[in-house]
Structure 1
Amino acid sequence: MGETSSTPGGCSGRLAQAWDAIAADTTTIVDDLSRLVSLDTSFPPGDGYTAFADLAEAMLAPLGFRFRRVSVPEAHWRAPDGSARGERVNLIAARRSGRPACSLYYHVDTVPSGDGWSMSPFALTRHGDRLYGRGTADMKGTIAATLAALRAIDRFGLELAFDPLLLLCTDEEGGLYPGIRYLAEQGLIEGHLLSFNGGAAPRIWAGCFGSIDMLVRIHGRGAHSGDPVGGINAAEETIPLLNALMRLKAEVETRTSALPPPPHWQGRPLHARLTIAAMHGGHKGSSLPARFEVLVNRRYAPEEPFDAVMAELDATIAQAMAGSRALEVETHLVGHLAPVSDPTGPHWPRWQAAVGQGFGYPPSAFRAWGSSTSSDMGFVQQAGIREILLGGLSRPGSNTHAPDEFTTIADLVALARAVLLYLSRDFGAAGSPERRIATDQGVGQ
């Protein structure tokens, strides 16, 4: 679905004017996204968060927001492999009028740019309706869309149903201690939570898998490859481990979840996953590598206990390396996101109505589905916040986490319109969209 041009049903007056104004604001939306993408906030290492907080404050201050910076203590996030560095600055931007709060969540980190790009990952590139750059879909584009909604709200003097509390957080991309986890555990999330770590789809979020990043470091002894007296080739000593991990992968990926699968899975069940995500070691043909590293990613279903998943990984590594000549085998948990289970609640019908109007989805299009991707919202649930609304810009073909990631101007406008409707008081009164969706889908029955 693309941008809808007609005014949403039941909306009139200033709300309808604000709706139309968003489509005329695309030059500013693109400029905002360009500024956001140009700051490299890749995690690892995550050393761009302070600069990003500076930029976000500069962009939000004209809209009347006040700011609080909350840094995660280093003892929480410091990874044993040294892959994380720099202050973990989380920015809370609040605009208060005494109304109930809605916390809008954004992770400001991206995955590293990686190889294979046909253009610069940190310079926004436009081709027609598409906007390319790291973070455009996941999820800096959602910040630009929210800014457009807030500008339209202010321009037309709309009254709000909720006071917006923007949470711009660190280390979602597999960190040991994501910023939103720290905010939740410190009691700094107010009202209900709307996360933009999702997709541009008529989706009722049913939950998602957890994710574990395990680093295995094999120590050998360097030597000349032509005369390796006393040498131990760490790369070759890793081969039994790689074989064992591939056997475990075959077993793990037979395990299915009861979470309903996304439409593009065409009815196939979601299943656990194991991925050998990275391997590093050696530097020259004339030398035996003295150290070799393997990064393993394990996606585990809500039905799988974390302790059991970790125990299985530990046992596989220990058994594979039991007869090795390696001098030492280190294992480090360098990233973890907990799974999310049933995040629905009383605010979902209103958000579904706003998304449906913004993107042009009819109520009948909405379906509940989960995902084998992961989110830091699992830690938010563990802190006692069960209901988590979900929206965003990612689509199956938008190259999220891949080279040439992109979003579209049409989706940015559509998401901005959804945020506009959700926050606006008049949307709830105009045709009672939340009651219509609740009736159509049996919510609350």
Structure 2
Amino acid sequence: MSCAGSLPIALDSITQDSEAILEDLGRMLAIDTCFPPGSGYPAFADLMQNLLEPMGFTFSRVVVPESLWQTPDGSAQGERVNLIASLDSGASEACNLYFHVDTVPAGDGWNYPPLALTQVGDKLIGRGSADMKGTIAATLAALRAAQRMKLALQFNPVLLLCTDEEGGLYPGVRYLAEQQLFSGHLLSFNGGAVPRIWGGCFGSIDLKVTVTGRSAHSGDPVGGINAIEHSLPLLNALNVLKTEVEQRTSAMPAPPHFQGQPLTSRLTLAAVQGGSKGSTIPARFDLLINRRYSPEEPFEAVWDELTSCIDQAMAGSAALNVEYHLIGHLAPVSDPTGPHWPRWLAALSQGFGFDANDFAVWGSSTSSDMGWVQQAGIQEILLGGLARPENRIHASDEFTTRQDVVALAQSILSYLAADFHH
């Protein structure tokens, strides 16, 4: 692999761009785009237009209709603004650079402000720093370097800044793909800073169950129906089903840290809520079930198995009502490889210093909204990002590092530059 022209100088200049990188990332982290509820999307789109307009980008705002993403529990709130930012660099082919702009909620246990950038040594701490606002900052740094050196580009960059990846019922990129609002291959930054050839990923279902009883005084419970206690058969049945589900293996290659063990399907009792105080019989019990399913498992079969388990477990219950709703769904991804992968692997090697022999194919039982992109007809999906096992993604004190942001920016610039040879 070799670089020609001004590309080496442009790559080196990214290491001197720390001040702008930190300023961009700090402004992004300060906007609360957590999902649920997802109410910060319009403000984030405003910020991105402000950052990209001086570079010559043009914009299209696409709002996902509320009828598609709203759930019965009302946990999602606010306009679902997706931003498509396009730069005509004179290239003959586009590359779609995908980012989800939502984060999980900050949660508990932080030692630093979650909605601000805190630097501790080389760590860049804040909710979304690694997953995945830091990847947007890296992309902006790559584009600035290209424009500073007036590099010709191999691809016209199209940035897809999308909503509701974090378990949403109807992710924004699904809507963009189904409406055919972009075309060509796609580079997703929902991956890691690792020498990985993406082998695909599992699908994910979030199903919420609500059991309704009748409140009463716990010391005089005549006429009361305890929603929590009447849900015990359901919890037991789901625990039995969990054992069955997690025996099912996938042919998808497992990550290296699985140490030779296969990827398996997953069922998790993810959240419960019910009751308020000791003197009252609880009238309501809410249960959130997460089910990760492999590409070998048809969605319809997974859904039927889950709902049949609920129906059978609660068939003899005296509860007044049992309802369940799908509140989040990501389709699985299978074989996202294609003709652009060799160039992307070479670009990753340029940025992160990987050797060609370091790369391996593996999938994951985590999930991505890229399954919907495949179902809409775009098969090839490149993968990169900032995730590392130690980054505390979805946990308190999430962080990335300055070195990884610079390395990813150098990888992106290499991939986009016309005089990058591999």
Q: TM range, normalised to the smaller chain?
A: over 0.9
Out of 278, 286, 290, the residue aligned to residue 285 of structure 1 is 278
Match of 2:215 in 1: 222
The one-letter code sitting in structure 1 at the alignment partner of 2:158 is: L
* Structure 2 residue matching 1:368: 3-state secondary structure: strand
Q: Does 1:72 align with 2:64?
A: yes
Distance 1:349 1:375 in 2: 22
Out of 122, 134, 143, the residue aligned to residue 129 of structure 1 is 122
Match of 1:62 in 2: 54
Deviation at 1:242, TM superposition (A): 1.2
* Structure 1 residue matching 2:389: 3-state secondary structure: coil
Q: Does 1:347 align with 2:337?
A: no
* Structure 2 residue matching 1:268: 3-state secondary structure: coil
Distance 1:30 1:71 in 2: 29
In the TM superposition, what are the counterparts of 1:299-314 in structure 2 within 5 Å? 299-314=292-307
Distance 1:194 1:59 in 2: 21
Match of 1:34 in 2: 26
The ranges of structure 1 where at least 4 consecutive aligned residues each deviate by more than 6 angstroms after the TM superposition are none
Out of 79, 82, 95, the residue aligned to residue 74 of structure 2 is 82
Matched-pair contact (CA < 8 Å) for 2:5–2:419? no
Deviation at 1:56, TM superposition (A): 0.8
Q: Does 1:399 align with 2:392?
A: yes
The one-letter code sitting in structure 2 at the alignment partner of 1:230 is: G
Q: Please list every run of 5 or more consecutive structure 1 residues that lacks an aligned counterpart in the other structure.
A: 1-8, 434-445
Cα deviation per residue 1:168-190 (whole Å; 9 max; x = unaligned)? 00011111111001100111113
Distance 1:266 1:36 in 2: 37
Match of 1:249 in 2: 242
* Structure 1 residue matching 2:281: 3-state secondary structure: coil
Deviation at 1:191, TM superposition (A): 2.1
Distance 2:158 2:300 in 1: 35
Distance 1:28 1:97 in 2: 23
Out of 75, 83, 104, the residue aligned to residue 91 of structure 1 is 83
Distance 1:117 1:324 in 2: 41
In the TM superposition, what are the counterparts of 1:125-164 in structure 2 within 5 Å? 125-164=118-157
* Structure 2 residue matching 1:151: 3-state secondary structure: helix
Distance 2:377 2:413 in 1: 28
Distance 1:267 1:238 in 2: 38
The one-letter code sitting in structure 1 at the alignment partner of 2:332 is: P
Distance 1:211 1:90 in 2: 22
Distance 2:282 2:113 in 1: 33
Deviation at 1:81, TM superposition (A): 1.4
Distance 2:111 2:269 in 1: 25
Deviation at 1:12, TM superposition (A): 4.1
Cα deviation per residue 1:288-324 (whole Å; 9 max; x = unaligned)? 1111100000000000110000011001111111121
Cα deviation per residue 1:40-70 (whole Å; 9 max; x = unaligned)? 1111111110011011111111111111100
Matched-pair contact (CA < 8 Å) for 2:14–2:406? yes
Distance 2:6 2:94 in 1: 22
The one-letter code sitting in structure 1 at the alignment partner of 2:18 is: T
Deviation at 1:23, TM superposition (A): 0.6
The one-letter code sitting in structure 2 at the alignment partner of 1:131 is: L
* Structure 2 residue matching 1:164: 3-state secondary structure: strand
Distance 2:378 2:184 in 1: 10
User: Between the two proteins, what is the percent identity of the paired residues?
Assistant: 67
Cα deviation per residue 1:69-94 (whole Å; 9 max; x = unaligned)? 00011111111211111111000001
TM norm structure 1: 0.93
Match of 1:327 in 2: 320
Out of 158, 163, 166, the residue aligned to residue 159 of structure 2 is 166
Distance 1:289 1:126 in 2: 45
Distance 2:90 2:284 in 1: 58
Count of residue pairs brought into register by the alignment: 421
Match of 1:24 in 2: 16
Distance 1:173 1:291 in 2: 26
The one-letter code sitting in structure 2 at the alignment partner of 1:147 is: L
Q: Does 1:113 align with 2:82?
A: no
Deviation at 1:286, TM superposition (A): 1.4
